[in-house]
């Protein structure tokens, strides 16, 4: 109801209506593997680690028109390791917290990141839709 009222009063175009949400994803740091086998062998076995992943939080945002904001990744650790950023999409921001979950100060960091990419202005505002989590 609130979203409908806001949209009726301001008529935001789809590319200026953004949604943001967090989701937990399991991550396991792996090294590239090589498998050696006899030449001509048709079936080759390999072993997979039984190591469990670590739950990291990914903060993702996109507009109704399909514009993506680069994500934020929150790792469950005290300090950031540069290697954890390898292979990430351009513009991705990173944060660390022992729990790996969203915190108010981390959300503030993400919001500043969002503003840099969405570039809202008085003449071209954006509408950001988010859940009612206490950290927001």
Per-residue pLDDT, averaged over 83-103, amounts to 91
Spatial neighbors of 37 by CB under 8 A, at least 6 apart, are 44
Residue 6 lies in a domain: yes
Residue 43 lies in a domain: no
Residue 85 lies in a domain: yes
Tell whether the model's pLDDT for residue 31 goes beyond 70.
no
Residue 115 lies in a domain: yes
- Structural domain span for residue 123: 2-27+53-129
Spatial neighbors of 123 by CB under 8 A, at least 6 apart, are none
Residue 136 lies in a domain: no
Give me the pLDDT at residue 51, please: 47
Domain total in the chain: 1
Residue 41 lies in a domain: no
Give me the pLDDT at residue 92, please: 95
CB 95 within 8 A of CB 73: yes
The span from the CA of 43 to the CA of 7, in Å, is 59
Give me the pLDDT at residue 44, please: 63
């Amino acid at each position: 109801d609130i979203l409908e009222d806001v949209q009726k009063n301001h008529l935001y175009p789809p590319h200026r209506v953004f949604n943001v949400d967090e989701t937990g994803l399991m991550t396991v740091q792996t090294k590239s593997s090589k498998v050696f086998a006899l030449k001509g062998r048709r079936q080759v076995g390999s072993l997979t680690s039984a190591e469990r992943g670590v739950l990291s939080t990914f903060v993702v945002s996109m507009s109704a028109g399909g514009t993506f904001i680069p994500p934020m990744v929150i790792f469950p650790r005290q300090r950031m390791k540069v290697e954890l950023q390898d292979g990430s999409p351009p513009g991705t921001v990173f944060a660390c917290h022992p729990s790996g979950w969203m915190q108010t100060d981390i959300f503030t960091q993400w919001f500043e990141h969002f503003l840099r990419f969405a570039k809202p202005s008085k003449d071209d505002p954006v509408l950001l839709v988010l859940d009612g989590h206490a950290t927001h």
